[in-house]
Amino acid sequence: MTVWLLAGIVAADPVPLPAGEGKKILESACTSCHALDLVTDKNWTRQQWQDNIQEMVDLGASLTKKQTDDLVDYLVKNFGPKDRAQELFEDVCSYCHSLGRARDQHLTKQQWRDLIKGMIFEGPPVTAEEFSLLVDYLATNFGPEKEE
């Protein structure tokens, strides 16, 4: 026998949600049974989010296939596993530079390496491991454009 216990949780400051296609779905479908922090405290993979949402649908959550897909995409983007290199970029590099500025560079791995070496002398220190993570992240995500 399954026993359901629903408790209302009153928070002084509700958890702010990032904008996106799945935000309204999360607010309406998920928070009717769950507190937001139950969701926002997770860092699940796409498969974990899909499995969990499918379980909720099986238990009666009424979501269309499109709503489910949008919700999974939203949750993975905002509450998925953290990429240490991306976190470094967001925490260290974006302190002075915008994401757009990096996106417009299209530098090779060696060019990123040289550029970051110069930045280290002017900005926050990074370890050798963090340096390598940043170079790989930038080269992978903001490297030369591929010809089609």
For residue 16, is it within any domain?
no
Q: Which range marks the domain in which residue 120 is found?
A: 84-141
95 and 74 belong to one structural domain: no
Note the pLDDT tens digit of each residue in 6-56: 333 344 345 689 998 899 999 999 988 889 888 888 889 889 999 999 999
Domain endpoint, select from 44, 63, 79: 79
Instruction: Give the pLDDT score at 8.
Output: 39
For residue 104, is it within any domain?
yes
Q: What is the average per-residue pLDDT within 73-87?
A: 87
Alpha carbon distance 100, 119 (integer Å): 17
Claim: this prediction has a pTM higher than 0.75: no
Residue 62 has pLDDT above 70, yes or no: yes
Residue 148 has pLDDT above 60, yes or no: no
CA 95 remoteness from chain centre: 18
Domain endpoint, select from 79, 100, 124: 79
Residue 89 burial (CB < 10 Å; 0-12/13-18/19+)?
Answer: buried
For residue 113, is it within any domain?
yes
For residue 36, is it within any domain?
yes
Q: Tell me the two tokens of residue 74.
A: 């939203």
Residue 5 has pLDDT above 70, yes or no: no
Q: Tell me the two tokens of residue 14.
A: 């509700």
Alpha carbon distance 112, 106 (integer Å): 9
Q: How many CB atoms are located within 10 Å of the residue 125 CB?
A: 9
Decide if 93 contacts 44 (C-beta within 8 A): no
Closest-CA residue to 116 (of 65, 66, 125)? 125
Give the range among 13-17, 45-49, 115-119, 125-129 with minimum mean pLDDT. 13-17
Domain total of the chain: 2
Q: Cα(first)–Cα(last) distance of the chain, in Å?
A: 58
Alpha carbon distance 71, 90 (integer Å): 24
93 and 118 belong to one structural domain: yes
For residue 146, is it within any domain?
no
